[in-house]
Amino acid sequence: MTGTAVTPTLRLDRSLALLWGTTCTAAVVLFALSAALGSSLYGIPVVLALLLALALAGSLVLAVVLPVVAAGTSAAAVIALALAGSPETGSPWPVAVPTTIAFAVTLALVVLRSDWRPGFIAWVVGVAGASVVGIAGHRPPASGDAATADLIVFAAVSGVLLGVAVLVSRWQDVRRQLLREQQLSASEHARLEVAEERTRIARELHDVVAHGMSAIQVQASSARYRLPELPEDAAREFDELAATARASMGEMRRLLGVLRHEGGADLAPQPGLADVPALVADASRHGEVVLDAELAHDDPARSDPVLGLAAYRIVQESLSNVARHATGAPVHVRIERTAADIRVEVRNGRAPGRPASAPAPIGGGHGIRGMRERAGLLDGTLTAEAVDDGFVVVAVLPVPTVTG
């Protein structure tokens, strides 16, 4: 099934174009009628009739962009036409039919485009001004009853349309509020679904991975006591395995805390560049790992913990990849810092007794992909490729510019 979705912006543009087209057409028609009737039936000089008709019809167009100005202009035009017109012809006076229509529609647009107060004030001023002119200025053949009837019709028609516009405006406000509430409810529902899914993932990780890591840690820790004849080198390997399992369990607990939105996990200190030497020292127990950097506590990344964490995780993941895919290979970790960026390079050679091995295919696995995404979030770059003597990972992370 194919089709074109109509966006809210497109619908808004169409509605605005329709409003402009309708308003301009009505203004042209009312201008022609008001000018013609003013000069022919009410004895208004042609130039003055054109100017007053232009003010009356122009307020209709002006209501779309400047509602408050349009309200005042329309009320003034109604009073001016009543003053300039002569009741001697017997036509509806002091307010002609085109004037009533233009004034009522202008007030409706003012209410819909801004607020009910300017429209109501303009209605009071227009009706009061026309009433004063009609009561004080009527003369034969127009009677006081005829002027009163015309004023009642004028006030009723414009007042009813003003009231309808107010009701429509209030309905639109209520509808917009309901739409906002629906959006908030949908957003809250989506957030709850995400929270439930995160909790489910945390539960699965705890039940499956954490249980397995606990078993490994217990077995490795007790190997020295369960197997008295175990050689000392093998016993140390089991102790290191138990320590690694305990550290991994700690990382797992922190991850579970984040997934479950536990406040303590969010406030727990995260590793940074200053923690890389300890990471390298731990990896050195399982192979030759050399760190070419002096990482003091006042390094540039200390002011940005996100940058330091990213560099740490990239080194950590690279060393893990070497341990998995090039076990025993010599590793050289180099970190260069400038005012503009931090360059992290992890290069491993060939593993003893095997050819050089890449940590993982570029298109498969999640290690290199995760490192690349982490660098990309900081507007940095990461490359991972095989070289003649092994494999190299290079990440360049820009240092944020401090302003102010």
Give the chain's domains with CATH numbers.
14-268 (no CATH), 270-398 (3.30.565.10)
Which tens digits make up the pLDDT trace of 149-177?
A: 889 999 999 999 999 999 999 998 898 88
- Output the six-digit token pair for 361: 């295919």
Query: Which tokens sit at 157?
Result: 């028609």
Here the tokens at position 148 are: 């009163």
pLDDT band with cut points at 50, 70 and 90 for residue 57: very high
For residues 14 and 302, the model is more confident at 14
Task: Assess whether pLDDT exceeds 50 at residue 404.
Answer: no
Which of the pair, 292 or 269, is modelled with greater confidence? Answer: 292
Query: Could you give the CA distance from residue 116 to residue 123 in angstroms, rounded to a whole number?
Result: 10
Name the amino acid, one letter, at 45: P
Confidence of residue 61 (pLDDT cuts 50, 70, 90): very high
Please determine, for residue 257, whether its predicted confidence score (pLDDT) is greater than 80. no
Residue 106 neighbours by CB under 8 Å, 6+ apart: 59, 60, 63, 70, 71, 74, 122
pLDDT at 287: 65
Lowest mean pLDDT across 22-31, 167-176, 340-349, 357-366: 357-366
Which pLDDT belongs to residue 377? Answer: 85
How far apart, in whole angstroms, are the C-alpha atoms of residue 49 and residue 31?
10
User: Among 230-239, 255-264, 312-321, 343-352, whose mean pLDDT is lowest?
Assistant: 255-264
Strands of the sheet containing 331-337, edge to edge, are: 289-292, 331-337, 341-348, 390-398, 381-387
Rounded mean pLDDT, 6-11: 56
Is 0.75 topped by the overall pTM? no
Calculate mean pLDDT across residues 289-312.
69
More confident residue, 228 or 332: 332
Cβ-count burial of 4 within 10 angstroms (0-12 exposed, 13-18 middle, 19+ buried)? exposed
Q: Which residues, other chains included, contact 139 with Cβ-Cβ below 8 Å and sequence gap of 6+? A: 87, 88
pLDDT score of 195 more than 80: no
The phi, psi pair for 322, rounded to 5°, reads -65, -45
> Mean per-residue pLDDT for 198-204?
73
Q: State the pLDDT confidence band at 7, using cuts at 50, 70 and 90.
A: low
Using omega within 30 degrees of 0 as the cis cutoff, is the peptide bond preceding 271 cis?
Answer: no
**DSSP assignment, residue 399?**
P
Question: Would you state the pLDDT for residue 296?
Answer: 52
pLDDT of residue 270: 75
pLDDT value at residue 299: 55
- The whole-number pLDDT of residue 158 equals 94
Q: Is the model's pLDDT at 229 over the cut of 70?
A: yes
What confidence tens digit (pLDDT) does each residue in 383-403 have?
Answer: 999 888 889 999 999 987 655
Cβ-proximal residues to 258 (8 Å cutoff; 6+ apart), any chain: 265, 266
Whether pLDDT at 1 is above 70: no
Quick check: 143 pLDDT over 90? no
* Residue % of the chain over a pLDDT of 90: 31
Above 60 in pLDDT, residue 364? no
* 229's tokens: 């004849």
The CA distance from 137 to 144, in Å, is 9
Exposed / middle / buried, residue 239 (Cβ in 10 Å: 0-12, 13-18, 19+): middle
Q: How far apart are CA 135 and CA 129, in angstroms?
A: 10
Mean pLDDT of the chain: 81
- Local confidence band at 344 (pLDDT 50, 70, 90 cut-offs): very high
Confidence of residue 309 (pLDDT cuts 50, 70, 90): confident
Mean of pLDDT values over 106-111: 94
Residue at token pair 């809250």: 188
* pLDDT computed for residue 286 by the predictor: 64
Q: In this model, does residue 110 exceed pLDDT 60?
A: yes
Taking the mean position of all CA atoms in its chain, how far away is CA 237? 53
Distance between CA 73 and CA 57 in Å, rounded? Answer: 10
